[in-house]
A and B are shown apart, each in its own frame.
Chain A
């Protein structure tokens, strides 16, 4: 059809100008514009929700990183702490926290007097502004430094959670009318001490590094130990899920014959990825705890459960990464006489490694944020544990995990814990964002194009 002579044009055709749009074109353009508008609207809604989420989380959570402290000079009276005067540690240990209360009360009264605060409150009520952990903090210090008995030492005590809330605006004079933990007279004292610089708000590292505290002391609760719990679980997941997942993927992708058995396995792996995580939790409870008698609440068990949960993710992403390596590379390796295994390990696997790592990190991030299975193996609840000292202890002694800790705080009654739950979410999100960023960077950096 190379005949472009004018005579071949049908005489009926109307001369149309390219400068005016035909109705069809107008309609098509309108459709396209509408679709683009829908797309932009969808993205805008998504971004708006993200913005709301981030603003809410940071608005409510950042308070948890600050804490109110009361700075007091405490005179470590020899008459109260060491009546014999021999600095015999066993004698000193015999004094319970109850015995330290007068020292704290005295220090509080002295501070009031020194700064000329006018109040009718008794010293015990004044000391009520401090955290219930203040006496324990004092006792621990004295036991560690018995030589300082008799001297006056400056301490930074945590203020109790209502005082902390008052400084952060969570607690107001109206809201405390029926509150037996604090009175308006006490708040007057707080106002005066804030003006005097005795009470102040500052950054609280213990929220990030400390351990959980009981219902009575929200001001002392921290994420640190549950962070370690999460860390040990991730260690287990990484040590088990990565080698098992990669080995399974390589076998299925490169070696296994394609028949109905492998088809069934493939379908089931895809199905496992969609199984609700709580199912893995109950499986872990039945198998690891009830049958194998592994310790309850242990990160080892949590790690095993999360391994089961993460495996399908890792297998699927690893297989995708292996599939993405062009067959010509395998042919090239086989063509120079490499064995199947050599072609896989020398050429295919290194090329698939970034994809595998990315999938693994995303699987780990998923596992890190998982709460439901931990409910069933007892990693949720107030677990009064201090930081583990050895690897074995870290794996086997009861612990919580970051999301479980957040859940635990969120369900406690005191609103001070609610703030800490939001703060915990910030920490958890920082971990997840970091891991996902690493995954994206790895993918961008080592992605190879053919």
Chain B
């Protein structure tokens, strides 16, 4: 028996901290692994759904990672993807049902996006790549870390899009109304950029974030 397996690792050892921090920058699920782009396009028109989506993904990913990690030695290899899918789908349905019963207003805001969590490639990706081969605590940290990495980008994109597209943040007017061009009175100099309300602009914003991140973090730049 090898002894190193037996040595107790502290809950927040360097390696475990790395699990939380890595997805934030060096291994960000959206900007580096380019996963979960679909939801980054769909729900970043406004800040509020982006925040609620990030929290829901955090719950589903952390809980799912722990469940998969707990049963990882029992899952038959040939149907492991199906098992993962069942775990995500049931968690998402449970979240949806509980929201509808106890937080009806939040559930209304999320509407179809709750269901979209199932299709979020980050979740299946982390189950397959991490939870299947690691213990529950590590899997939990990995889930939290990745969902934070995902949420940060989502919120950043939504911030830019809501501010420039609607002149608001969280539904509150930020750009002073007196700045807006008023044809009748001939005043004002500002207009919302409607292009920011369309999905392509989310891709462009994500692209700019990737650009800025790579300019700062030279580790990410490929050799050639």
Whether A associates with B in a native complex is: no
